[in-house]
Amino acid sequence: MKRKVSLWLATLLAGGLLLWGTAMPSLAAPAVQEAPAGTTQVWMSDVYPAADAPGMLQMVALYPNNAAEVVSIYLTKGATVETGTWEAGDDGASTVTLTGNSERTYDEPVTVNFTQEDGRLSDGVFSYYLLDDVTPAEMDAALSGEDEAASAADAQTHAMGDLGRVWVSNLYPAADASGLITVLAFYENGTMEQMAIFLGKGAIQEIGAWEEDAGGTITVTITGTPDKVYDELQTVTYQHVGDTLVDGDFVLALWPEVTPEDLAAAIDPSGVYATNVYPAADAAGYIAVLALYADNNAEQTTIYLTKGAVSEVGVWSKEIDTSITVTLTGTLEQAYEEPSPVTYLRDGDRLVDGPFVFFRLDEITPERMEELVAPAVAATYQSDVLPAADSPGRVILLTLFDGATLTLSTDFRNDQPPGEEVGTWAENADGTLTISITGTPEREYEQTASITFERDGDQIVAVKYDESVWGTEGLTLTQQPAE
């Protein structure tokens, strides 16, 4: 059964990836946490690209009474608050049913299924981190200044301009709400915004400016909300301590951002998938291989062990909830009277249809294949700049491979690709090294050219060679460090 999608994800996917100009780097993730039983769980997603905002992140709050709250924060655009219920499943899984937002009740509930793995919550595409719950006692200790000295001792000096973009606090106590989470965003033009999320009460967006001095002090000046300018400016000073901002009372952590490329890879399901070996009625088992092509064509080959294989073709489509529908329309020989559709739920790099699971296979590119089959390098030697008749000079690079093959590269330092020759090499009983140049990668020479070297420390010195090619000074090569 396909699950429905929440409002924020539908907006993001339907709107397309109209992204901000520069892709932000992925940052180190916060440490994973385990939620104590009977407590409010507050999960915060990575920062993701959004269709019409500089980015978005989402908070999911699961209350002990099975109420649920989802806050979707669109940077510079405000926040949407959705409410509903949740039910716990096996192994930390949960099902959230959203029944409305702050403006209306939905005609139909929206259901989102989450799983937990390695201390993180996931809906199959997006990941969430559990926020620490700061107790009132811990808050009192912070307000009393007990932790302030330690924070000041850890303060580091940062160069101007290296400050991260989005910062998120843990869950702090609040006087008239179930808790408070603060999201702080700094922009390159010196503006900032702060979203204060009061659990069960909604969110307040404030805007202003920020600046950083050479000592790692961040000054934030809040000037008002998007709708109103405050009569008095509010100023907060933070110390930039590693990947945190500290003002003595509150601590905000630098939050991970997902690049447009990473999101596109997560959302784009095209690729090749394969199952494990499943039992079959009249075969030793079967394996299915499913190829989803970028043009939305599909091919499935079912391999029956000891019996052969059946290939089917068709099309695939991506649903708004990120599930995949594969419709097989026939075999390579004939079309079916009725198409055969199957819908798969996406779980990371897996496609799931009940007990049947397809695992996405890694693609080995031609370049990667060349690396895999290339022989290992045994040693590399290089010359100084040698004289050349019609160029600024030449540099010889000799690479010896395991298996007794070699390449000899000559760079004439004229902005042209080096010339490359191939051949073989051998260690002699007297400790000398003989190389035999047999041709180029494209053709074989009629006559092999050989050079014998003696070893002298980290150098090899030619002692037997064709003087008409290498001159009376011969050839000396120095061994290069292994890469």
pLDDT tens digits for range 451-476: 999 999 999 999 999 888 777 778 99
In the predicted model, what is the mean pLDDT of residues 294-307? Answer: 96
Domain 268-360 listed as CATH 3.90.870.10: no
Q: Are strands 229-241 and 78-88 parallel, antiparallel or unpaired?
A: unpaired
Euclidean distance between CA atoms 119 and 125, whole angstroms: 16
Euclidean distance between CA atoms 321 and 231, whole angstroms: 45
Structure tokens at 102: 């702050």
Please tell me whether residue 205 adopts helix, strand or coil conformation: strand
The owner of tokens 């981190």 is 129
Structure tokens at 285: 């088992």
User: 26: pLDDT confidence band, cut at 50, 70 and 90?
Assistant: very low
DSSP state of 48: B
Q: Is pLDDT of 72 > 50?
A: yes
Q: Which residue has the higher pLDDT, 17 or 283?
A: 283
Fold type of domain 374-479: Lipocalin (2.40.128)
pLDDT of residue 36: 57
Euclidean distance between CA atoms 156 and 145, whole angstroms: 19
The number of residues in the chain equals: 483
Tell me how far CA of residue 431 lies from CA of 281, 310, 449, 462, in angstroms. 65, 60, 20, 13
pLDDT of residue 180: 94
Euclidean distance between CA atoms 433 and 301, whole angstroms: 53
pLDDT of residue 64: 94
Q: Is pLDDT of 13 > 50?
A: no
CATH number of 7-261: 2.40.128.640
pLDDT of residue 148: 44
The owner of tokens 């491979």 is 401
Euclidean distance between CA atoms 448 and 424, whole angstroms: 10
Q: Which residue has the higher pLDDT, 264 or 393?
A: 393
Structure tokens at 93: 């899984």
Euclidean distance between CA atoms 239 and 246, whole angstroms: 5
Count CA atoms within 13 Å of residue 67 on its CB side.
10
> What's at 400, amino acid-wise?
L
Least confident of 97-111, 157-171, 399-413, 414-428: 157-171
pLDDT of residue 265: 67
User: 8: pLDDT confidence band, cut at 50, 70 and 90?
Assistant: very low
User: 62: pLDDT confidence band, cut at 50, 70 and 90?
Assistant: very high
Question: Is the CB of residue 71 less than 8 Å from the CB of residue 80?
Answer: yes
Q: Are strands 356-360 and 350-353 parallel, antiparallel or unpaired?
A: antiparallel
Question: What would the pLDDT profile of 359-395 be if each residue is shown by its tens digit?
Answer: 999 888 888 888 788 888 999 999 999 888 788 889 9
Burial class (CB in 10 A: 0-12, 13-18, 19+), 173: middle
Strand partners, 181: 197
Q: What are the phi and psi torsion angles at 19 (to 5°)?
A: -105, 165
Question: Is the CB of residue 305 less than 8 Å from the CB of residue 278?
Answer: no
Question: What would the pLDDT profile of 425-443 be if each residue is shown by its tens digit?
Answer: 999 999 999 999 999 999 9
Residue 168 neighbours by CB under 8 Å, 6+ apart: 44, 57, 131, 181, 182, 183, 184, 252, 253, 255
Structure tokens at 232: 């008095």
Residue 311 neighbours by CB under 8 Å, 6+ apart: 299, 300, 301, 302, 331, 332
pLDDT of residue 266: 67
DSSP tally for the chain: helices H, then strands E: 6, 34
Q: Which residue has the higher pLDDT, 3 or 140?
A: 140
Question: Is the CB of residue 284 less than 8 Å from the CB of residue 306?
Answer: yes
In the predicted model, what is the mean pLDDT of residues 101-108? Answer: 91
pLDDT of residue 101: 92
Least confident of 204-208, 243-247, 299-303: 243-247
In the predicted model, what is the mean pLDDT of residues 263-280? Answer: 87
Least confident of 13-17, 195-199, 403-407, 450-454: 13-17
Sign, CA torsion 99/105/109/115 = negative
Q: Which residue has the higher pLDDT, 174 or 140?
A: 174
Rounded percentage of the chain residues whose pLDDT exceeds 90 = 61
Reported as type and span, the H/E element at residue 144 is helix 136-144
Q: Which residue has the higher pLDDT, 6 or 278?
A: 278
> What's at 232, amino acid-wise?
E
Question: Is the CB of residue 8 less than 8 Å from the CB of residue 72?
Answer: yes
Q: In the chain, where does the domain assigned CATH 2.40.128.640 lie?
A: 7-261, 268-360
pLDDT of residue 5: 37
Q: Is pLDDT of 482 > 60?
A: yes
Q: Is pLDDT of 335 > 50?
A: yes
Euclidean distance between CA atoms 129 and 254, whole angstroms: 13
Q: Which residue has the higher pLDDT, 326 or 332?
A: 326
| Average pLDDT of every residue of the chain | 85
Question: What would the pLDDT profile of 118-158 be if each residue is shown by its tens digit?
Answer: 788 988 778 899 998 887 777 666 555 544 434 433 434 33
pLDDT of residue 465: 92
pLDDT of residue 144: 58
HEC string of 377-437?
Answer: EEEEEECCCECCCCCCCEEEEEEEECCCEEEEEEECCCCCCCEEEEEEEEECCCCCEEEEE
Which among 102, 50, 46 has a CA at the least distance from the CA of 75? Answer: 50
